[in-house]
Structures are given as structure tokens and as C-alpha cells.
Amino acid sequence: MAIILDGKNLRDKILAELKEKIDTYEKKPTLVVILVGENPASQIYVNNKKKTAEKIGINSIVLNYPENTTEQELLNKINELNNDNEVTAILVQLPLPKHISKENIINAIDPKKDVDGFTPYNFGKLFSGEKPYVYPCTPKGILLLLKEYNIEVSGKHVVIIGRSNIVGRPLSQMMLNENATVTVCHSHTKNLSEITKTADVIISAVGKNIIEGEKMLKSGCVVVDVGIFKDSTGRTRGDVDFESASKIASYISPVPGGVGPMTITSLMLNTVELFEI
Ligand code: NAP
């Protein structure tokens, strides 16, 4: 049976260390989260971020905007926050309402306050093999989790399923930086299982049940499940069929309790890293 990659345990350890560090600061980091509209999932995510930040001594301010807020109003606020020395990190919760350009909003954030690492400056640095101010949270959390279990990716074949800007794309670059041989798959990929069968490390970020054990995995591989969704019975699950995959893999991350806690942990780490610039 595979060893569980326990994100909760590592989260608790890292957050305890961060709290100790923040306790020594005279002035505390301030994270501002902008939430537009009433998306229930976004409200839960934002609430969790605020609670976690406050638990470890980070000032956390949530700015709630109504659904009909204009792009210009948001741009004005971001400009104000960029120029506010008390604000050290800015996060715009996605998705935004359709009438607001996500790109225009993200591009407006000062890269030194861009706690998600999504601005073109930070993304460009990452994709050119240089160091951004911070790395995007979910990929960073995945690498921290693998490192905690001494899982070396250098020279390994890492297969990433999903090419979104929040997971697959930045993760592919971070894996290259770690000297992995990287294959990125997506909805147009043909013969997915032939590719996944050759993976030493497989990371799935799709949001659908697409990975089955024996059919798709090589014996002893490492499986990281990023996907999280509710199935038809309302149960929270990941992309991977945990039961069959855990019989074949050497390590596997559960859903919930694997990558999710590491994403929020990385957000806290990034907040502190930006504060220290
Ligand atoms: P997304 O933007 O919808 O991207 C999904 C990716 O999956 C796309 O690249 C898509 O390909 C690919 N895909 C769809 N169907 C496929 C198939 N049958 N075979 C292979 N690839 C397929 O989603 P996301 O924002 O990256 O999130 C993905 C999942 O991870 C969601 O369940 C989300 O909730 C979860 N997530 C979890 C965390 C966490 O902290 N635990 C963080 C972020 C995301 P195309 O590009 O061709 O459309």
C-alpha cells in the first residue's frame, strides 16, 4: 500500500514555524484579499485564508465588492493598495465576474505584492528560468510536499495533467527547474494512459475522475492528486481513484488532506516572503 502524502501534517508544522517567526516581527505583514460577488466557494476559500492568516499573526483584510463592481473601480483600489506601505500582499480571488478582465486586474498588481505569483512579471521570471518574487501557491505546495517525503524529481519523468495558469503551467516550469523530464497533458492529449504509464511522478489537476490504478499507473510511481470536486453522490473527491491507485503507487496524496492544505500554507509562506523583500 502506498504511503500517504499528508498535507495537513506538513501544513501544521510549517504554520507553527511561520507563527514563531512572525511573533518576532515588530510590524506584521498585511494581506489584502479582494473578493468580488457572492460565489459561495470563493467565500469559503477567502474565509479560510483570513482565518489561517490571523492564526499565525498576519493582518488580514478582506475587501468585499458587489457583483456589479466595475473594472475601473477595482483598478483604482489596486492602485491605492499598491501605494499603501501598510499593505504587503494583495490577492484577488478568482474567478471574477465576466464583465471584468482577469488579465487587466492581475496585471495591475505590484509584482512585489503579488502573493499568488500570477502577474506577468512574476510569471515571466518563472518561465525564463529566473527567480520570481514568489512562486504560485499550488505548485509550490506540491513541491514542498514531495520534498518533505524526500521524493527526488531530478531525472524523473513527471507527467502533469492539466495546463491551467494556476497549476499545470507554472508547475511544469518549476519541475523543469528541478531537472525533471516533464510532459504536460490536457484535454486534447491522445492515449493519455500510455503516457501516464511511463510516469515516475504523476500530478493530476483536472477536476474529473480520470486516473484509475492499474490501467494508468506504473508500479511504484508517485501520485499527486490536485483535483477536487463533488461527485454525483455529493462526496468530495479527487481526480484519482484512490483505492486502485494506492495499491500500485509508492506514495499518494489524498483528497481532501493532500494538496489543498499545502496551497494555503504556500500562501502564508508567500505573504511572509513578500513582507521580507
Ligand atoms: P482548469 O483551469 O479547468 O483546467 C483543467 C485542465 O484539465 C485543463 O488544462 C484541461 O485541458 C484539462 N483536462 C480537462 N479534461 C481532461 C481530460 N479528459 N484529460 C486530460 N486533461 C483534461 O482547472 P484548474 O483551475 O487547474 O483546477 C483543476 C482541478 O484542481 C479542479 O478540480 C480544482 O478545483 C483543483 N484545484 C485544487 C487546488 C488545491 O489547492 N487543492 C488548487 C487549484 C485547483 P484544456 O486546457 O485542453 O482545456
**CA–CA separation, 58 vs 64, rounded Å?**
19
Q: What pLDDT does residue 257 have?
A: 97
- Enter the C-alpha cell of residue 215: 490501467
Residues 6+ apart with CB under 8 A from 235: none
Ligand 1 centroid distance, CA of 222 (Å): 19
pTM to 2 decimals? 0.97
Residue 109 pLDDT level (bands cut at 50, 70, 90): very high
- For 236, list phi and psi in degrees, rounded to 5: -75, 130
- Enter the C-alpha cell of residue 3: 504511503
For residue range 43-64, list pLDDT tens digits in order.
999 999 999 999 999 999 999 9
For residue range 113-147, list pLDDT tens digits in order.
999 999 999 999 999 999 999 999 999 999 999 99
**CA–CA separation, 29 vs 270, rounded Å?**
11
Answer whether 256 contacts ligand 1 (Cβ < 6 A).
no
For residue range 207-248, list pLDDT tens digits in order.
999 999 989 999 999 999 999 999 899 999 999 999 999 999
Ligand 1 centroid distance, CA of 34 (Å): 23
Nearest CA to ligand 1 atom 35: 227
For residue range 147-177, list pLDDT tens digits in order.
999 999 999 999 999 999 999 999 999 999 9
Q: What pLDDT does residue 255 have?
A: 97
Residues with active-site annotation: 49, 93, 116
Nearest CA to ligand 1 atom 24: 164
User: What mean pLDDT value characterizes the chain?
Assistant: 97
